[in-house]
Amino acid sequence: MTFLEFIEHHQQIIYIVILMIFVGIVVIGRVPSVLHTPLMSGANAIHGVVVIGSIIVMGKAEAGNYFALILGFFAVILGTLNVVGGFVVTDRMLEMFKNKKAK
C-alpha cells in the first residue's frame, strides 16, 4: 500500500485528527493560571477513554487466551483508575473553588 493510498483510505480519520487539534487548542485558549492544575487533571481524566480500547480487547479475547485475558484485565483496571481517579481528583479540586465562592 503506498503512502497516498493509505491517506485516501484513512482520510476521514485524518480530517478528525486535524480538526481536533485545532479544537483542542482553541478550547484551551486563554486559561487563567488559577485553573491550570484542575484543567490538567480534567484533561488527564479525559484521555482515560483509552479504557474503551481495553474493554474491546477484553471482550474479544477467546476464553482460553490467558495472555490476553490477564493483560486485558489489568488494562481495564488501570484505564478505569485513570478515568475514575482523574475525575474524582478534579472534582475535589474544583469543589474548593466553589465553597469559597459561596462565602
Partner 1 sequence: MLVLIYIISSVTFILGLKMLSHPATARSGNLAAAAGMALAIFGTIFLYNDPETGHVLHNYDWIFSGLIIGSILGTVSAKKVQMTAMPEMVSLFNGMGGACAALISLIEYQHLSHMDAGMMSDHKGMVLIIVLGLIIGSVSFAGSMIAYGKLNGKVGDFSFKGQNILSILVLLIIIGLAVSLVMDPAQPILFYVIFGLSLLYGAFFVFPIGGADMPVVISLLNSFTGVAAAFGGFLYDNNVMLTGGILVGAAGTLLTIQMCKAMNRSLLNVLIGNFGGNASGGGTSGEQGSYKEVTLADAAVQMAYANRVIIVPGYGLAVAQAQHVCHELESILTEKGVEVTYAIHPVAGRMPGHMNVLLAEADVSYDKLEEMEQANDDFPRTDVVLILGANDVVNPAAKNDPTSPIYGMPILEVEKAKSVIVNKRSMKPGYAGIENALFFQPKTSMLFGDAKKVLQELVGELKTM
- Evaluate the CA torsion angle 77, 79, 82, 85 in order and state its sign: negative
17 scored as a contact of partner 1 (CB under 8 A): yes
Closest listed residue to residue 97, CA positions, set 29, 9, 10, 36: 36
**Closest CB 14 distance from partner 1, rounded Å:** 10
4 scored as a contact of partner 1 (CB under 8 A): no
Binding residues for partner 1, rule CB under 8 A, total 83
Residue 35 DSSP symbol? G
7 scored as a contact of partner 1 (CB under 8 A): no
Q: What whole-number distance in Å separates Cα of residue 103 and Cα of residue 92?
A: 18
Q: Which residues 47-76 are close enough to bind partner 1 by CB under 8 A?
A: 47-61, 63, 67-69, 71-76
92 scored as a contact of partner 1 (CB under 8 A): yes
Q: What whole-number distance in Å separates Cα of residue 8 and Cα of residue 36?
A: 38
**Closest CB 26 distance from partner 1, rounded Å:** 9
**Closest CB 11 distance from partner 1, rounded Å:** 13
CB 45 within 8 A of CB 82: yes
Among 7, 8, 11, 23, the residue binding partner 1 under the rule CB under 8 A is: 23
Residue given cell 480519520 in the structure block: 13
